[in-house]
Amino acid sequence: MNLESEMLDKLVKDLADSFDNQILYETLGWTIVDVPHQHSFWYNAKKTIEQWVDANAGEHFYWDGKFAFKEGRDATAFLLRWS
């Protein structure tokens, strides 16, 4: 296997995992929220946002710049804080 093939395989796998997560959490009725783009330029933003969510939200899952919240009120609190 060459480097191009390996990179393409990883890209396809990551994309499939992202779609799987999106479908799974939508099917379970969780609220999916994108992390606002302005925070992607902020140094250490991912870690800070994850710490806030861990401390202030109930059950949740993070992938590819998105959070899935089991409770809608947690998604609302997240959007009010980080938008």
* Domain range list for the chain: 3-82
> Which pLDDT score, from 0 to 100, does residue 77 have?
95
> Which pLDDT score, from 0 to 100, does residue 14 have?
87
d(CA 46, CA 35): 9
pLDDT tens figures, 34-71: 888 776 667 778 888 889 999 999 999 998 889 999 99
Three-class secondary structure of residue 29 per DSSP:
coil
Least Cα distance to 17 among 48, 50, 61, 57 occurs for 61
Beta strands in 1-83 (DSSP E): 31-34, 60-63, 66-69
Indicate the pLDDT class of residue 1, thresholds 50, 70 and 90: low
